[in-house]
Amino acid sequence: MTSRRRLGLAALAVAVVAAGGIATIGTASAATTLRSLADAKGKDIGFALTPSYLSEAAYKTIADNEFNLVVPENAMKWDATEPTQGQFRFTDADTVASYAVATSKKLYGHTLVWHSQLPSWVSNLSADQLQAAVDNHITTVMTHFKGQVTAWDVVNEAFSDNGDGSRRSSVFQQKLGDGYIAAAFRTARAADPNAKLCINDYSIEGVNAKSTAIYNLVRDFKAQGVPIDCVGFQSHLIVGQVPADMRANLQRFADLGVDVRVTELDIRMATPSDATKLAAQAGDYQAVLQNCLAVTRCQGVTTWGITDKYSWIPGVFPGQGAALIWDENYVAKPAYNAVATALGGTSPSSASPSVPSAGSCRVAYTVPSQWNTGFTGNVAITNTSATAVNGWSLVFSFAAGQTITQAWNATVTQSGAQVTLKNASYNPAIAPGASVSAGFNGSWSGSNPAPTGFTLNGATCTTG
């Protein structure tokens, strides 16, 4: 899918979920990340990368620490790598490949033959010219990255959306016929015999006409000796609509002798999000991970991005979004804990709070509203370290006798001027580079200056 940036930023807020709403959802232990949990299970946890986003510290920190696989969101597609016939350009794709090496991640190639993001010159070729161009494109791109890419989406979205399992009427289908997919896989095998070769598509997560058509294709390829190693299930899902037969569907493909993987996971909702939707989304993310983990040949799960800030969903589905596991401000949602739990993370009650070092946290204190003798305060805590915080306690002191009367997203105790905010049951984890926020109402008299010193689990935080 095309990367699209959502315009505007939502107000900084942590997902507020009723404790009963995610009673089964835990969080990774203090020193764990999604990456370490996935590594322990021998599975991939991946994300789609646009290299320019690495200039944002929060994005880069999460990308570096939470994932063991990276796929280029757009940098390896045909329009990016061969915009003019025979003239190849690998600048952004090489950046992704170098990033994978620098951060010890697997590199997943996406994609070689796809009807979308296709330069106009491709569609203007005759059948013979088109076949030659496809062969040359696959061979040149795969040879350039030979030995670097663990698996390729060789053919992407080859089947139609009409629900009958027919082929998509793409330029490849129109000019080359049904044989173009097998030909692409044979060319790909010759170009890089060691890379796994995958077919990738959407709306095939459950058993339906489209998934059955791909199942039949894979079955026939295996019988005919066409080289195919894996099937990618994009999984652009909607909250509450994870197919009940997803696990059985993954297993039936695996039984054909191919690997399966979830390749482009996001789970969208009608926006704005709320506590109920976020809780349901967390359950859905957990279900997808569990479905994959239950199938031995499921290699792992890749999310189509990191943050809602850059999700393609709002640009394509107006009124929908909030589909990823970090929000637009890099605050981890309940879905983060759900994924961690599915991967074997421990629950908050069984993990001791982590203690960050001095300067490894940042606190922003704001007063969104103030009236007569009352005010609303907000604290946003950012974990600036490379280690996840699990279980947090923020301590600060008021300088003018202010008193907190009510709090949310945290439990509060106050002794004289000193205030202690502790995590609620649903938000104990702060991933590296991520934030969590809590708010409160209070009373004041005379003046209402902001606190100047904050400690997180005993460590002094910077402010601002």
Q: Are residues 378 and 336 in the same domain?
A: no
Q: What is the CATH number of the domain that holds 142?
A: 3.20.20.80
Inside any domain, residue 221: yes
Inside any domain, residue 13: no
Pairwise CA distance, residues 427 & 406, whole Å: 18
Answering whether pTM is above 0.75, one says: no
Pairwise CA distance, residues 438 & 95, whole Å: 38
Cβ 27 vs Cβ 51: under 8 Å = no
Dmax of the chain from CA atoms?
Answer: 83
Q: Are residues 368 and 327 in the same domain?
A: no
Inside any domain, residue 15: no
Cβ 118 vs Cβ 111: under 8 Å = no
Q: What is the CATH number of the domain that holds 410?
A: 2.60.40.290
Catalytic residue of the set 66, 205, 264, 328: 264
Rg (CA), the chain: 24
Question: 3-state DSSP call for residue 108?
Answer: strand
Catalytic residue of the set 66, 73, 82, 157: 157
Cβ 149 vs Cβ 111: under 8 Å = no
* pLDDT reported for residue 265: 98
* pLDDT reported for residue 2: 42
* pLDDT reported for residue 10: 28
Q: Are residues 367 and 344 in the same domain?
A: no
| Helix (H), strand (E) at residue 230 | strand 230-233
244: which 2 tokens?
């009940």
* pLDDT reported for residue 425: 66
Inside any domain, residue 12: no
Residue that terminates a domain, selected from 287, 317, 350: 350
- Tell me the pairing of strands 435-443 and 374-383: antiparallel
Q: What is the pLDDT of residues 5-48, one digit of tens each?
A: 332 222 223 332 322 222 222 233 334 789 999 999 999 999 99
Q: Are residues 410 and 271 in the same domain?
A: no
* pLDDT reported for residue 351: 44
Give, as one character, the DSSP assignment of residue 102: H
Give the CA distances from residue 418 to residues 254, 305, 398, 406, 452, in Å, rounded to whole numbers and listed in that order: 58, 40, 7, 15, 12
* pLDDT reported for residue 11: 26
* pLDDT reported for residue 408: 81
Q: Are residues 335 and 413 in the same domain?
A: no
Can you say how many angstroms the Cα of residue 243 is from the centroid of all Cα atoms in its chain? Answer: 19
Q: What φ, ψ does residue 47 adopt, rounded to 5°?
A: -150, 155
Q: Are residues 151 and 50 in the same domain?
A: yes
Pairwise CA distance, residues 95 & 246, whole Å: 35
- Amino acid 207 reads V
Q: Are residues 307 and 413 in the same domain?
A: no
Cβ 159 vs Cβ 166: under 8 Å = yes
Q: Which portions of the chain are predicted below pLDDT 70? A: 1-31, 346-359, 425-426
Cis peptide before 272, with omega less than 30 degrees from 0? yes
Pairwise CA distance, residues 433 & 435, whole Å: 7
Inside any domain, residue 432: yes
Is the sign of the CA dihedral 61, 64, 66, 69 positive or negative? positive
Q: Are residues 125 and 170 in the same domain?
A: yes
166: which 2 tokens?
């027919």
Q: Are residues 199 and 119 in the same domain?
A: yes
273: which 2 tokens?
């999000």
Residue that terminates a domain, selected from 350, 385, 412: 350
Question: 3-state DSSP call for residue 363?
Answer: strand
Inside any domain, residue 421: yes
Residue that terminates a domain, selected from 320, 350, 380: 350
* pLDDT reported for residue 81: 98
Q: Are residues 344 and 432 in the same domain?
A: no
* Number of folded domains that form the chain: 2
- Residue 264 CB neighbour total at 10 angstroms: 24
Cβ 438 vs Cβ 14: under 8 Å = yes
Q: Is 328 a catalytic residue?
A: no
Q: Are residues 426 and 458 in the same domain?
A: yes
Pairwise CA distance, residues 385 & 61, whole Å: 9
Q: Is 264 a catalytic residue?
A: yes
* pLDDT reported for residue 433: 86
Pairwise CA distance, residues 103 & 328, whole Å: 24
Range of the domain at 322: 21-350
